[in-house]
Structure 1
Amino acid sequence: MRNPGTGRKGASAFRTVVESRVERVHTVRAGGADGRRVRLSGYDLLTGPWYTPLTFFYRDTLDGAALRDSLARTLRRYPLLAGRLERDVDGGLSVVCNDAGVRFTEASCPDPMRDYGHGLRAAPVIGSLLREVSAFGVIGRDTPLLKVRLTQMRGGGSVLGVLINHSLADGGSTVAFLESWSREHLGLAWDGPSHDRAVLDALGRPSPDPATRQGRAFLGVGRLRHLTTTLRAGSNKLATVTTRFTAAELAALKAEARRTLPEPGAWASTNDALTAHLWQVLAELRARPADVTEWLGLIVGVQHRLGGALPASYWGNCVSNSWTSRTAGRLRAAPLGALAREVRNCLESNTEDKIRDEIAFLNSYRRKGVSRHVMSVRAPDVATAAVSVNNWSQFPLYRIDLGAGRPFWYEFPDLPIPTVHIAPTPEEDGGRDVYLCLPEADAARVGTAPWRERLHAWNGSAGQVSTGRDGSAGTGSDEDRRDEGAVVGKE
């Protein structure tokens, strides 16, 4: 295993590599297929057929044979994951539920399990990254849509790498599948998901409000512009650094935000305050001219914004995004409460009318056969003038027990655009783990003492990137949990 800071230059300097040797490769099947063809929704088509890698670290050793057995049983209610992607005649995509199977790789590492976490990051443990996540050999081929890699460490402990094709599932649905697998493995009851994309498609309705139509989060562009924007994003050199905000620190941030709210009776959640704080600190880090625009994008789960019209069991991509902006100078000088309220207003702009209009818009492009030309309205800005926030803080990441207890750490991938990823802590004590995916130079700077102090100015002992457990009582009222905000999508 390489030490931190070694290996090739660039993002790998921020992570260690778990060296392993493949022992066996299995194909896991549900054992039956109905052959149906599930046509993917407009939201599904936004992502492209890329894979999202997640890696979970366990102190105790997972049983590979038992995992394959429980995975096969779980796939009976997740037939899309064992299917294959095919192109529709209009350029859309469908999954053929043919039970072609899931790839399950078992590997061994000659090194013992280490104390992975904020002080010791690991690259996604999924084997050859380029081979596993390529989107160019998926459609119309016998390429698994779910890939699992189980790495057994010397002396005990396991690393579980999971890759799901993003065109099938957003972050919430990915974690829902993992939770279903966990419950099946432990012999607990669980409800099956709904894969009926037609239910979502039927909710589309163009908005009668010109402002809603004008403010759509997505737009259609020509093929050349879409390709140029995609290639530009893919050429970015970004790296991810992490830090922990304790429950007490979050409570202090929230108190300051509420103290400085711009109008009486306004409200902001814990995550609103945290998002506002991170947006402001990153604007200070980037130090762009005072009159340029800084954009904040929020990836937003839309299910509960549809007024119960979409079943709670719906499984697939079901996220939108919304944007707000300030000039860099105003952003750096603003009170925290004003920014937190701006975050809240940005979230609340995702009304039922806006989401229904968006579904209708995406469906219209699919009918025209040009779904591949739709992109975010802010796509040209994301590399230099924007940051996107994915909030997974309410997801049960640390309850994925597959027979060896809960994971003690999990890794989120580096993304091609500046992104803030918010997650629960392993102790689920009301704190937050924050993953900052930034240009490599910014990622290096944010790890220095002055910027650690700025990030943690509200913890009472500035300068320490939190990696410990202070035993503080959890923050977050029922009101906070009701609508904490963004949920991961593509960006």
Structure 2
Amino acid sequence: MARRRVPPLRTVVDSRVESVHTVRAGTADGGRVRLSAYDLLTGPWYTPLTFFYRKTLDGEALRDSLARTLLRYPLLAGRLERDADGGLSVLCNDAGVRFTEASCPDPMREYGHLLRAQPVIGDVVREVSPFGVVGRDTPLLKIRLTQMRGGGSVLGVLISHSLADGGSTLAFLENWSREHLGLPWEDPSHDRRALDALGRPSDDPATRAGRVFVGVGRMRHLLTTLRPGLRRRVTVTTRFEAAELAAMKSRALGELTDAGAWVSTNDVLTAHLWRVLGELRAHPDEVVEWLGLVVGARSGLGDALPSSYWGNCVSKSWTSLPAGELRGRSLGAVAGDVRRCLRDNTEDKLRDEIAFLGSYRRRGVSRHVMSAHALDVSETSLTVNNWSRFPLYRIDLGAGRPFWYEFPDLPVPTVHITPTPEEDGGRDVYLCLSEPNAVLAGTGRWQERLHPYAVSGLTG
């Protein structure tokens, strides 16, 4: 019997802690910032990001520039507190950020698609546990700088998801980079009232019926949240070159039938991945396949929200097709479905969502709100989180730009799309799947299915 091809395991960067510092801004007003209803959706989990640099970062210089940056990000140096109604606030007391310096006896390796690393945060379980955050002296931002033998550095960043979504996290890192390099940058807005004030129940029954968040009982919320952890997830990575994406988009545009119809490159890539993974999972024709799109709410809210707003401001859209229809539809038709799903994020939908979430917070049951689809149908759903426009490879902290970025495994099937290190119009894609599906996705046959529009197969 032929052996299964198993996706390569992530290597562990074996590091030893040399010193631990608390970085503070040096000033605090002691005020409280009450987190928004969107902030409360995430729970007190941390988002781990890891960046690999060929040149060595200066730890002391990083701490100095971080302290200056925290002057304009007082929430990051604060502590989470529980409100009387069950919500959360940040006490802006400048209690500080944890900055750990470590060393590794091994040289920097050529990390990338063929050699991936575990998020370099040290004891990850201890660092990211959400059970010791609220009401504790637990930093909301944790930095781990690992110096490699012979040069090169790994920068691990843990940020509380209660404070920031992906876009805001990268905005902070880019602003830290600009502060470190002596470049100007815009003050962020931390006023959550500006977002909460936009809540307004919709007059459209269809909008209210189609809300993507629902209130559930405490036990169902707990069981549904724990269920995905029963399956092991493995991440497979792959790269789509710019020419490959252009060929894919050309095919999709040619298959659109409505006059004036248009789809973006990311719409087409999302549609392609959904179709291929639908084939790979091989559900019976009548089983409904769900696609969840993580979308930023800022553009839908327009000028009503300050452009510099910093916090969680992310919604989700869902679309679905029977498995057989998903496999049988053309790329252009599925890309059109993706585009229509994104267009559902109207200002009316988002305002209604903010009002709905706010009503649960006022009743003291905000922790009972969850996505209407994602966890209940995790084995027939796919969540796509598109970071292709984020400045992942522009985080220069004095040693040039990173050459690789590492993404953590998630508890539900997820597609994470990022720019390439060269920012050349291509896309790096992280496919976080159940272990059997990840094994299949890593085989030659399914890699060919993922890349039929590559230079050697443009006619596919």
Normalised TM-score (structure 1): 0.91
CA distance in 1, matches of 2:257, 2:87: 46
Q: What is aligned with 1:258? A: 253
- Does residue 1:274 correspond to 2:289, yes or no? no
After superposition, where does 1:232-251 map in structure 2 within 5 Å? 232-251=227-246
Alignment of 1:58-137 (within 5 A): 58-137=53-132
Cα distance in 2 for partners of 1:299, 1:217 equals 11
**Offset of 1:460 from its aligned partner?**
2.6
- SS of structure 1 residue aligned to 2:237: strand
Kindly report which structure 2 residues correspond to 1:98-247, keeping only aligned pairs within 5 A, or say none.
98-247=93-242
Whether the aligned pair in 2 keeps the contact of 1:452 and 1:462 (CA below 8 Å) is no
Letter in 2 for 1:212: T
User: Which of the numbers 418, 421, 426 marks the counterpart of 2:421?
Assistant: 426
Q: Is contact 2:375-2:412 (8 Å) kept?
A: no
Task: Give the deviation of 1:265 after TM superposition.
Answer: 1.6
Shift of 1:380: 3.4
Which residue does the alignment assign to 2:411?
Answer: 416
Matches within 5 A, 1:338-377: 338-377=333-372
Contact 2:374 2:381 (8 Å CA) reproduced: no
1:26 pairs with one of 21, 27, 35: 21
1:378 corresponds to: 373
The CA deviation at 1:71 is 0.3
Shift of the alpha carbon at 1:382?
4.1
For 1:71 and 1:361, the matched residues in 2 are separated by 37
**SS of residue paired to 1:380:** coil
1:44 is matched with which residue: 12, 34, 39? 39
The reply to whether residue 459 of structure 1 matches residue 454 of structure 2 is yes
Partner of 1:450: 445
AA aligned to 1:17 is V
Match of 1:400 among 395, 398, 401: 395
8 Å contact kept, 2:85–2:361: yes
**1:293 matched to 2:288:** yes
Asked if the contact 2:225–2:375 (Cα under 8 Å) also holds between the matched residues in 1, the reply is no
Matching residue's letter, 2:141: L
Per the alignment, in what secondary structure is the counterpart of residue 136 of structure 1?
helix
Match of 1:314 in 2: 309
CA distances 1:114-170 after superposition (whole Å, capped 9, x unpaired): 000001000100111100110000000000000000000000000000000000000
Task: Summarize the Cα distance change of 1:59–1:337 in structure 2 as closer, same or farther, 3 Å threshold.
Answer: same
User: Are positions 1:388 and 2:377 aligned together?
Assistant: no
For residues 43-64 of structure 1, the C-alpha deviation after alignment (integer angstroms, 9 at most, x for no partner) is 0000000000000000000000
Q: Which amino acid aligns with 2:403?
A: F
Mapped partners of 2:291, 2:93: distance in 1: 41
Question: Do the aligned residues in 2 keep the contact of 1:77 with 1:193 (CA within 8 Å)?
Answer: yes
* Cα pair 2:221 2:368 within 8 Å, conserved: yes
Q: Deviations over 1:165-222 (max 9, x none)?
A: 0000000000000000000000001111000000000000000000000000100000
Query: In the TM superposition, what is the alpha-carbon distance from 1:381 to its structure 2 partner?
Result: 3.3
Q: Provide the C-alpha distance between the structure 1 equivalents of 2:271 and 2:265, rounded to a whole number of angstroms.
A: 10
Q: Deviations over 1:362-392 (max 9, x none)?
A: 0000000000000000033342110000000
Greater shift in the superposed pair: 230-239 or 16-25: 230-239
Q: Which residue of 2 aligns with 1:487?
A: none
Contact in 2 for aligned 1:236/1:383 (Cα 8 Å): no
Is the contact made by 2:292 and 2:374 (CA closer than 8 Å) also made in structure 1? no
SS in 2 for 1:341: helix
SS of the equivalent of 1:290 reads coil
Kept in 1: contact 2:243–2:455 (CA 8 A): no
Deviations 1:235-293, CA, capped at 9 Å, x for gaps: 33101111000000000110011011132221000000000000000000100101100
State the partner residue of 1:16.
Answer: 11
1:14–1:241 Cα contact (<8 Å) kept:
no
Equivalent positions of 1:479-490 (< 5 A) are none
Aligned to 1:466: none
CA RMSD of aligned residues (A): 1.1
Mapped partners of 1:427, 1:379: distance in 2: 33
> Deviation of residue 419 (structure 1)?
0.4
How many Å separate the matches in 1 of 2:228 and 2:379?
10
Unaligned runs of 5+ residues in structure 2 are 1-5
Structure 1 residue identity aligned to 2:14: E
- For 1:437, the aligned partner's letter is C
Distance in 1 (CA, whole Å) between partners of 2:164 and 2:230 is 25
Secondary structure at 1:240 match in 2: strand
Q: 1:139 aligns to what SS in structure 2? A: coil
In the alignment, the residues of structure 1 paired with residue 265 and residue 191 of structure 2 have an alpha-carbon distance, to the nearest angstrom, of: 34
Partner of 2:163, secondary structure, is coil
Native 8 Å contact 1:229 1:379 kept in 2: no
Query: What is the DSSP-based 3-state SS (H/G/I as helix, E as strand, rest coil) of the residue aligned with 2:321?
Result: strand
The unaligned stretches of length 5 or more in structure 1 are: 1-9, 464-491
Counterpart position of 2:3: none
Deviation at 1:443, TM superposition (A): 1.0
Q: Secondary structure at the match of 1:49?
A: coil
2:331 is matched with 336
Mapped partners of 1:69, 1:235: distance in 2: 43
1:77-102, CA deviations, whole angstroms, 9 ceiling, x for partnerless residues? 00000000000000000000000000
What letter corresponds to residue 202 of structure 1 in structure 2? A
Cα offsets for 1:321-368 (capped at 9, x unmatched): 010000000001110000000000000000000000000000000000
How much has 1:462 moved relative to structure 2? 5.2
Contact 2:78 2:91 in 1 (8 A): yes
The one-letter code of the counterpart of 1:349 is D
Equivalent pair of 1:393/1:423 in contact (CA under 8 Å): yes
Aligned residue identity for 1:193: P
Q: Which residue of 1 aligns with 2:52?
A: 57
